[in-house]
Amino acid sequence: MRYIAPIEVRTQRSNIKYLDELRELAHKNRKNPTESEYKMWKIILNNRKLQQKFLRQKPIGKFILDFYCSKLLLAIEIDGDSHDKKYWQDKNRDWYMEIRGIKTIRFTNEQVLNEIDNVFDILLEIIKNREKELVFSPFSRENSRSRFSGRGKRV
C-alpha cells in the first residue's frame, strides 16, 4: 500500500519537502532522545512489532516529527509538560501535517514511561485503522490502479 501526499508538498524524488536547516537539528535530536522517545523507539518502534517502518526525528516542512511512517503518512508525537502551554501551536502543527495527508498521534511522556503496553495497544489499533483509511483513499496507488485499466478507462 502506498499513499501519495499532494504533489505540491513533494520533491522531484517524491519525498515530502522540508527545510534544509532542520537536517542537522534532527540528527542532533536522534543522538540525544528524551527518556520517553528512547523507550518508545526501543520497545515498540525499532523492533518492528507493528510491522511498519518508522523513522526518528523526521523533518517535514518546517517541523521535526518525533516518529514518522511514510507508508502510512503517520506521525507520532510524544509531548512533555512544555506542551501544556503550547496547545494552539500543536493544533497548528497538526493542521499543517493534515493538509499534507499526514495523521498525527500524540502521547504524553507519562503514558510512554508508565503505560507502554497500553500505548502499544492504542498504536496497533490506530495503525490498523490507518491502513484501512489509505486503501480507500482517492490518492492511494492501489485504489487508482484497481479502478482504471491501462488506457485510462474505468474497469
- The residue behind cell 486503501 is 135
Average pLDDT over residues 110-136: 92
pTM: 0.74
Q: Give 124's contacts (C-beta < 8 A, 6+ positions apart).
A: 50
Residues 47-83 have pLDDT tens digits of 777 889 999 999 888 888 999 998 999 999 998 876 5
CB neighbourhood size of 87 (10 A): 9
Average pLDDT over residues 96-120: 93
What pLDDT is stored for residue 99 in this prediction?
87
Q: In whole numbers, what is the pLDDT of the chain averaged over residues?
A: 78
- 111 vs 24, residue with greater confidence: 111
d(CA 29, CA 103): 22
Q: Say whether 18 sits in a helix, a strand or coil.
A: strand
CA torsion 40-127-13-78 (nearest 10°) is: -30
Instruction: List beta partners, residue 148.
Output: 154
d(CA 32, CA 38): 9
The CATH architecture of the domain made up of 7-147 is 3-Layer(aba) Sandwich (3.40)
Nearest CA to 1 among 126, 143, 146? 143
